[in-house]
Structure 1
Amino acid sequence: MEPPWSALLALVLLAAPAWAEDPSPEEHWSDFWAVRFIINLAGYATILLPGYLLVKYFKRTNYLERGRGFCFPVISVCVFGHEVKTGLPEEHSPGVRTEPAESSPTKQTLRLLACALGLQVSYLTWGVLQERVMTRTYGKTDTDPGVKFRDSQFLVFMNRILAVTVAAVCCAMTKQPRHGAPMYKYSFASLSNILSSWCQYEALKFISFPTQVLAKASKVIPVMLMGKLVSHKSYEYWEYLTAVLISFGVSVFLLSSGQDHRTSSITTFSGVVILAGYILFDSFTSNWQDALFTYKMSPLQMMFGVNLFSCLFTVGSLLEQGALFQSMAFMARHPEFGLHAALLSVCSACGQLFIFYTIRHFGAAAFTIIMTLRQALAILLSCLLYGHAITLLGALGMATVFLALFLRVYARTRVRAKKRPVQGEPAVQKV
């Protein structure tokens, strides 16, 4: 099963008209988002293509049987792994609820509240900092207008280097199942994850944060489409109904924003295309990771494998472009940026750990409700801190989107309750 990377080319071709947009006087042609996108892809290709050829070579020459020497264990794990898919045991499933039987309802409630608080603090702080870094200047004084940080890829690298460190420490300190997947298979989800994160940061240069958050909620639709293509999934009627409601709500919000002169000036064609790229790549990531879970692995092992390749891709691309040292020099000149970038990474890594813990102990439904509330609070917080205006019609569109999301949670919970297995067979929930 190979990922549909032809979609990358289609996205670049769609973005071609945006290259003609008039840049600000201080911008160079290489600062155009589409050009930087292509340059980043070229950097990833210098790592991905040799790796692909090596994997093909080792498989074609039957290296697993004839190979020997110091490199054999590394090549065996990276290229072959334990090829037989065993399925994910219930005790390691990302969606299994493992509430201890002796825990009292009070303790469980306190744990759930702690998870909810951890998720809200992590991702609300992350959202505020993300908008601050990408839309505001650093070094601004009475005589100096300041300068914006431009390289979204460096922020992705910062997030991933901390995430892989946290995952490695957690895997070393806790008991994990024997790893089964060939390591190279993480590279597909890693690449799409990098691109989706890059698009998420880059889109804030063109559209408002509330628009981005609400549009991200509509990724239910491409996730369903990608699920059919990648995993051949089937969906219930209520899933299609709520997807249509989400699309309607997002459309109403965007149209109402377009009527406002202030918001229409920043909601550009480039922003829409970049946001579409985020949704496309993120949809592929979740479905590819879901397919990888058919191997025997834990969520922490997934987190480590994906972020390991993400670090490799991003640091390689940054070094090839010379952007790594430029970004570090910017950080040295503007310590406030360094603090913001570090906090972004901490919030991202902590948020992933809270996600795993919440889903494992309380199920995917509780997690979805918490994160839906987080999206609503993120929009409200952004409007309060950065002065984004939302019309009455836009508020109606937002309400429609969040109503549809809660309907999805309710319907999914009812369906799972009807399909609950007999006593002694724990139900497995997936995100």
Structure 2
Amino acid sequence: MNPNLDQLHPYPFEKLRQLFAGVTPNAEYSAISLGIGEPKHATPAFIQKALVNAMSGLANYPSTIGTDALRAAIAGWLQRRYGIPALDPATQVLPVNGSREALFAFAQAVIDPASRALVVCPNPFYQIYEGAAFLAGAEPYYVNSVPALNFACDYATVPGEVWERAQLLYLCSPGNPTGATVSLDDWKELFARSDRYGFIIAADECYSEIYHGSQPPLGALEAAHQLGRADYRNLVVFSSLSKRSNVPGMRSGFVAGDAAIVKKFLLYRTYSGGAMSPPVQTASIAAWNDETHVVENRNKYREKFALITPLLKSVMDVDLPDAGFYLWADVARTGLTDEEFARRLYADYHVTVLPGTYLARDAHGSNPGRNRIRMALVAEIDEGLEAAQRIVQFCTELKQPPYLNPNSK
């Protein structure tokens, strides 16, 4: 067996399952999960129709590079969304089976396992980054998010010797779980470091279309264009239809950017078998070419966050994020750790949230997930409000000692 498998941590939801072992949730309440970031809004009918109408494509082997029409649709969306010159669909765009699969595979393709490589990633983070680093024979280096910087990572604190060994930088903007976005000034500094040290930047942008202000988040390709980096050297972005179009089960995304890197990644994927199903390609074209359903989806999230955030803010330290569909709340004033909070809330009110320490690592003397919880506001408004009201009631009861609820174990 690959010895690097022994370095992998249990996935956050496996830790959550173990945390809840032996707990019988209060039968007075129905289950509501804010734990997993799985969109619950309905898949648009026109996407479903496009998928069904393309079922004849199941009789054909798909090519790894995807159809010309799909790559053109993705390139067209990037041009419209970010105001950049059109990418070359033949050399700068590659369809993938969801961003998760591609983010993992990318490290396997670009890391030299014989070189003591480091993979720099945010902390807290999407656990795929860490696992990809370990299985590529590299070591992750965690850059803590900073609450005073609106949960942005302070890359200026990373020592030069780390950048010298870095071969890959994963970043997520908008971030999971914090919702933080990368500014143009931050991008300028990161590009300068990439030029100096030669590492590749993998920008995970799967939450880019869910935002709460009037301005959409700055994209990596957009930043590169504004800074005169027309070749997108050493930059690759990953995006997906899962959150944008409510089709997580379709597993449809793309990689785009530096043509030389995309070419090598295509070679890798030709061997690994990462070709997208023809019906999914057809449905993806329909999704990327339509923006109306995206606006409607975003407005649903805005309505939810506008109603739910003030409720939760009355009992815990939480604010509206820049973007994304998570709330990253500090529960320290409840007197419970993040694990204790999640376990008791599940026991007493049958609401699932994810402890912040399950999404972060101890690094540089602290764990940025400690005493925080992640809440995914993915359900419809009524269910989300019900969950928020239960959390408020739970936190209110915590302030009335002694806390003797028999459902807590």
Scaled by the length of structure 1, what TM-score is found? 0.25
| Greater strand content | 2
The structure showing larger relative contact order (alpha-carbon pairs under 8 Å, at least 6 residues apart) is: 1
| Greater helix content | 1
